[in-house]
């Protein structure tokens, strides 16, 4: 028997939920699709996505956390294909979030407010 799993989301722990939501909306057009958490507000989970894919990022915030999370380091990253690399790069340069450039491979990386690296690639032909 073979199980065929479908990738639906990736969890990232964040220190500043509002700052992170603003970043993902501006940098990649990802917006909140749903939110959950207990009545006491001790933690909040927000799912973000856009209409180009059903895949979501789960942003998890925990009350009182001040130490940065280890969300897997730079080698663990998500990749995004964008329709206009030049416009995306201009925006990301303006945002000051570009952390690594690889012109030979035609890609670059940005980092979110918690240091998670995001690979930016052109749309496939």
Residue 73 clears pLDDT 80, i.e. is over it: no
In a domain, residue 86? The reply is yes
In a domain, residue 28? The reply is yes
CATH at residue 87? 3.10.180.10
Question: Hunting for tokens 């952390």 — which residue is that?
Answer: 99
- Per-residue pLDDT tens digits for 25-63: 999 999 999 999 999 999 999 999 999 989 999 999 999
Residue 125 clears pLDDT 70, i.e. is over it: no
In a domain, residue 38? The reply is yes
Residue 5 clears pLDDT 90, i.e. is over it: no
Q: How far apart are CA 53 and CA 89, in angstroms?
A: 21
* Residue 112: domain span: 9-64+76-122
Number of domains in the chain: 1
Whole-prediction pTM = 0.88
Cβ–Cβ < 8 Å for 50, 90? no
In a domain, residue 87? The reply is yes
- Using DSSP, how many helices (H) and how many strands (E) does the chain show? 2, 8
């Amino acid at each position: 028997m073979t199980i065929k799993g479908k990738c639906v989301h990736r969890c990232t722990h964040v220190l500043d939920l509002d700052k992170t939501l603003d970043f993902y909306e501006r940098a990649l057009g990802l917006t909140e699709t749903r939110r959950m958490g207990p009545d006491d507000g001790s933690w909040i989970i927000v799912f973000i996505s856009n209409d180009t894919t059903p895949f979501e990022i789960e942003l998890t915030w925990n009350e009182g956390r001040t130490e940065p999370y280890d969300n897997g380091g730079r080698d663990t990253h998500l990749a995004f294909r964008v329709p206009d690399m030049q416009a995306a790069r201009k925006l990301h340069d303006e945002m000051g979030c570009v952390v690594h450039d690889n012109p030979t491979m035609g890609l670059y990386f940005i980092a979110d407010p918690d240091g998670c690296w995001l690979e930016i690639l052109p749309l496939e032909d």
